[in-house]
Amino acid sequence: MWLKLKISIISISLVLVSGCSISSKQSMPLAAVIDKSESSQFVGSNTKPVTYQISAVDKLMNDAKNLQKSGQPVKAIAILERALRIRPRNPFIWSQMAQLRYSQQQYKEAESLALRSNQYVGSNVVLSQSNWLLIANARAKLGNKAGSIAARKKVGK
């Protein structure tokens, strides 16, 4: 009887406390936290509700995305460069920079940044394939048909 009551009280407390523990300014979709697990931290124990902290890098990447969407690519690049100074081996930052440079029609730099992202990608197949596709498109825009075909073959692996 007491065990069921304790479990009920703890469950209700966890729901109430977890709803208050994350501010709306710093919340991120769970998928973003899972994708960037190396740069996000999960905090908790058996007695405390499980919450997550947004790292400085995650915040900078979100800020850069918002700047890019609002048509401020130069500021977005500056923000991503700051993120790289904090986490130089984060493949997500390199990939986001590559996408931004591609959208600015700076194809050679986009290719180089995507290749750098792939150096640090590890086992994240989705990010790797996304980078190879960007590389293939950048090479096609640069007139490198053979390089584009070779990159597209790597997307299929």
31-58: per-residue pLDDT in tens?
Answer: 343 344 443 444 444 555 545 567 999 9
How far is CA 40 from each of CA 31, 52, 61, rounded to the nearest angstrom? 12, 7, 12
Q: How confident is the model at residue 95 (pLDDT cuts 50, 70, 90)?
A: very high
Is the model's pLDDT at 150 over the cut of 50? yes
Output the pTM of the full model: 0.66
CATH C-level class of 56-155: mainly alpha
pLDDT for residue 35: 43
Of 126, 117, 109, nearest in space to 89 by CA: 117
Is the model's pLDDT at 102 over the cut of 60? yes
Stretch among 30-34, 63-67, 68-72 having the lowest mean pLDDT: 30-34
Continuous H helices in the chain: 2-21, 30-35, 56-69, 73-86, 91-103, 107-120, 125-141, 145-155
Q: How confident is the model at residue 156 (pLDDT cuts 50, 70, 90)?
A: confident
**Termini Cα distance of the chain:** 56
Domain boundaries, the chain: 56-155
As a whole number of angstroms, the distance between CA 5 and CA 11 comes to: 10
Is the model's pLDDT at 113 over the cut of 70? yes
Within 8 A by CB and 6+ apart from 108, the residues are: 138, 142
